[in-house]
Structures are given as C-alpha cells and as structure tokens.
Structure 1
C-alpha cells in the first residue's frame, strides 16, 4: 500500500505539499496539484480522511433528524424526495449523512445530544418544525451548526437558519383557486396540530375564506397524521356531517390519496360531487385517479438548499442566521371542477 511519502517522492515534492494538495490549499499551484493527483491515481493512493478529520476536528458528516417513527415518516414520499436533495448537495461536497432513528420524540432528543456531545457530526438538519421542540434550544445552547426545514417559532426566527416555503401564501392561493370554482363549503384537512406547516396552512386557508366573506366553519377543520390512513379517517369525519363540504383542502398528497379512496368507497365522484386539492406534488399525485390538483413546493430544492446552508454554517461558525424561501406553483389536474348548483 502506497504512502504519502511514496506520492511525494514520485511527484518530486515534499510530503507537506502532498498534504496541502489533498486539502486543496489555494497556496499550491494548479500545475502542482494536477501532477500530485496524477501520481496519486497512478499509485492508487487514497488519503486517510478519518485521520485528517481527527486533526481538523471535523467529521465531514451531517446529522439528519427525522420525525419520530410514530408519525411514520418513511411512508410519506416527502421525505425520500427531500433526502434526495440533501444527498445531491452532500455528494458535491463529499460528506456523509447520519440519520436519527428515534421511535419517540424523547428518543430523538437523546440521540441528538449523543451526536453533538460525541462530535459524531459537524452539523444537523432538522426535517420538521414543531412547537415546543426541545432540540432547537439545545442546539443553540451547544452552538452546533444546524438548519431547519420548515420554520422555527417567532422566538427563534432571528437566530435559527431555516429553509421553507411561504406556506401561508401557498395555502391562501390554493384555497382562492377553489373559491374561484364557486365552492363555498370548503373543508380543511391538516396534518399534525403542533407542526408549523399545519398552522401556516390553516392560516392561509382562513385568510382566503375571510377575504371572500365566507364564515369559517370549525366543523370543517380536522387534523390527522400525514399518511394514507389519516386522509381516510379525516374525510369520514367531514362527510358524516349533515351538510358536508363540496371541496376539501388537504395538507399532503399522501393524505389526499386516502381521501380519494374513501370518497370513492362512499359513492362520491371526484370532481363531480366534491373537489380535492392538496400540497407537495409528489409523483403519485399525477398517477392517482383522478390526478390531483396540488401545490408544488419543490421538495428537492428544500433539501438541497438546507444542505448547502448547513455547510456554510459549518465553514463560518459566526455567520448570522439566514432564511431561504423556496417558491411554490399550483399544478391543476382533474380532481377539481367548477361547482354547479
């Protein structure tokens, strides 16, 4: 097995120069870098990244914190897609990912503490944002670089970096679209109650109704987990009412698929009897029957930007907190139609 001294000898440079080439030091000329790298390839020499990281006190690993298993995150296509964006950025910068596997929120907090105290990771990305989350104050206290996908509470919005959509505006826009189709009895199926994305969706939904002069009916607002079964259970609650809604705004495409299946089993036609809109624009929304009208929130870009931002924080520990807002776009398909009385 070749050593750094072997590379230096064949390249005609000092071992310290080889080390600087491996670290991509700007003090080394491009010509020298090319020569040293050619020799490394010729000898099959690969630098000991682990040893170098020990010297640099870095791991080149980012911790990825998923919601607790009780919310079945891997059932929802949002998470594989956001991880695809994170992984793409990780591959560019050649760093690894370390995933949390907590079954409960208490387990997750303990795992995050272990990650930080044992210095297993250089930084952390939180894939969710909820009220009263103890992880954010812990990471701030430990001065560990981290980024939230979603938004922090108002208390932390100026000290925590995050990547998010304008979820209030997105929900208002999609509700306004349903209103333009002449629907007035509109249901809202939200995700978990303590998630900021749910709170923002509800705010945007209510803003649109209030602007249209429509009274908000609290019995038309229900909450369930963002999974297929959650959509089924939610639509049962709504359609069991004496005067059910003629349209529903659903927090998530996977939930919306559950809504569609349950409506079909009840004998309702979509969109003739009831219109359905949702959020995320994952692949299954286009393949559903009928294809879903949904709000594309560019999930891949959320992940890519979060990974880029946490790397910037790691490189510049004194960097001020940043907020990056990813756009959204309404994708009109066949699950909506104009209300005909």
Structure 2
C-alpha cells in the first residue's frame, strides 16, 4: 500500500501542509518539527514525488554543468573531476541534482544549452570554461537565464555576468617572478587553447613579469597545445628543438606538465638540474609525479563550490545584480624547480 502525505501527517500529529513545508525545507518550520516529520517519513518509507512538486513550483532542482567540448578531452584532465566535486558538495547541501553536458563540439554545446533552457530541464547553468566570443554566454544573457561562469567572461560583459575565477594574471606573474629569482632568464610559457581566457591571462602575467625585469620577450618561447599529456610532450619537442632552448618552463596545467616531464626524461634532460618546470592546479598527480611538481594551487574545489553557491543565489533572486568571486592561489614548491646554473663553455 502506498504511503501518502496524509499518512505522514497523521503519524507525526501535524497538518499535511506542514509536511509539505518540511519537504520543501521551509524556513518557517522549526528544526524540531522538521526532525520529527522526517523521522516519520523514514519510518513509514515515504518518498516525496519530486517531479510533481517541481511542476507546482516551476523548478527542477537540477543545475546544468557545461564542460568544454570533447575536442579538448576534458574528462582526461583531473581539473574537471575536482571542480565537479566542489559543485557537487554545494549541490548536495541544497538538494540539487546535476545534469552534465557531454557535447562533442562547440556547436553541439550551444544546441544542448538551448535545449536545456527551452525545455526547462535545469534551473540554472554553470559554464566550466570561458573563451573569446562564446555564443553560449550571449544566448543565456539574451534569455535572462541564471548562469555562472568558472573563469573570466569577456571584458565587455563583466558587469553582466556572475563568475568565479582566480586572478590568473597575478598568479602567472608570481610564478614567473619566482623563476626569475632563481636566476632563470630564458623562461618558456606553455599555454593551452589560445582563445581561452585562462591562457590569455596567464600569458599576460608572464609577459608582465618579464618586462618588469627588463627581459626581452621572445615569441618563440611561447607555445600552445591541448591541455592533455600529449600536449605537454609536443610542447617540449617544439621548445627543445630551438637553437637556444629555455632553462625553465611555465606550464599552464599539471596534466600537460606530466607530459613535459616524460618527454624531458626521454631526452635525458634532467629536472631540475638542467630544466625547471612549474605548473598550475595542484591536482593529486602533481605530488605523485617523478620528480614531484612545483605547482600553483588554485583551489579547484573552492572554484566549483563557490560557483554552485553563486548559481543558487541567482536562481532564488533572478533580479540580483551580477557579482564575482576571486579565489586565492599559492605556490607549492616541490622538486622540479631550482636555481639556474650557467653552463660554462
């Protein structure tokens, strides 16, 4: 026999409307009453009809999470499981489910986002990437649909978009200054996709630090590859084939950095004796690499948690003015960086 909301109300000695408010986690209901009603629900094996309640409230209690297109192999990069863990932590606290995008191309992403919005499949969206002239952002703004960007939106849209980010210019500048203090002068920059703001900002921070130290900018030391293991390998081949290769590399992603280390090892280039490597993200594999990576911890979990928290506020207050949150960073020095030794000839 099916247990109804009336059965729960009778057993808990409250009105059916009180049970409904407990299910909705209404703040007007005392903690004591909530605990009593929930205990009865568990005892009787009552499970609310979520779909029916969502139809009444015009909410799905689901948020969409948009990954970069499969072209960039996001599931190969541990950044994304970690940022998803942060999103999930907050979503679980608010009893929200996740709808994860699995689109293959940038065009597919736009079409899937349109379907999410028009079908009201989700209450809001988190974008886990930010690129120049992204049509998804323009579409969501046009439809006044709640969304948050993990990263930096285009400059002209900063006052219109909710976003969570690191100060990537400052972070890259700090990493470059660290290597300059270690007496490195030929420092390479290994970036990801060129149209991603994270790549653009980190390159700008790198250049700013070099210019401040009166180091001439060498375009040949700036290379760009996919943020995967193989991308790091290709970057090393490109840089080490130069007549005057670098003595240090700043790699914009830990997974790429592992490819860098592997290729340098195969070339008998000792790290850190003959090459220093500094990376970003501080995922688990960075401390398990050989040697362990010097890397910048950008607090990935916090990026996801704050994004989900911000999206929840957007959903509850659609007229709220856009805000931003900058997550801090700090350098973790391990075994892939050391002072540069000039090779005498």
**Unmatched 5+ stretches in structure 2:** none
SS at match of 1:236: helix
Q: How far did residue 22 of structure 1 move?
A: 1.9
Q: Distance in 1 between matches of 2:32 and 2:215?
A: 70
In 2, Cα distance between equivalents of 1:19 and 1:143: 30
SS at match of 1:102: coil
Asked if 1:296 is matched to 2:304, the reply is: no
TM-score by length of 1: 0.98
Aligned to 1:165: 166
Matches within 5 A, 1:123-202: 123-202=124-203
Match of 2:92 in 1: 91
CA distance 1:37–1:267, change in 2 (3 Å): closer
Aligned to 2:222: 221
1:44 CA drift (Å): 1.4
Q: Deviations over 1:299-339 (max 9, x none)?
A: 11101110111011101111111110000000011111111
Deviation at 1:38, TM superposition (A): 3.0
Distance 2:91 2:27 in 1: 22
The alignment of Structure 1 onto Structure 2 pairs a total of residues equal to 341
1:191-250 Cα offsets, whole Å, 9 max, x none, are: 100000000000000000001000000011110010000000011111101111111111
Instruction: Give the aligned partner of residue 240 of structure 2.
Output: 239
With structure 2 as the length reference, what TM-score do the two structures score?
A: 0.97
Deviation at 1:40, TM superposition (A): 1.8
Alpha-carbon displacement from aligned partner over 1:40-75 (angstroms, at most 9, x marks no partner) = 222111211111011000000000000000100011
State how far apart, in whole Å, the 2-side matches of 1:171 and 1:28 are: 49
CA change 1:31–1:292 in 2 (3 A) is closer
Q: Which residues of 2 match residues 264-275 of structure 1 at below 5 A?
A: 264-275=265-276
**Equivalent-residue separation in structure 2 for 1:217 and 1:12 (angstroms):** 76
Alignment map for 1:7-156 (pairs within 5 Å)? 7-156=8-157
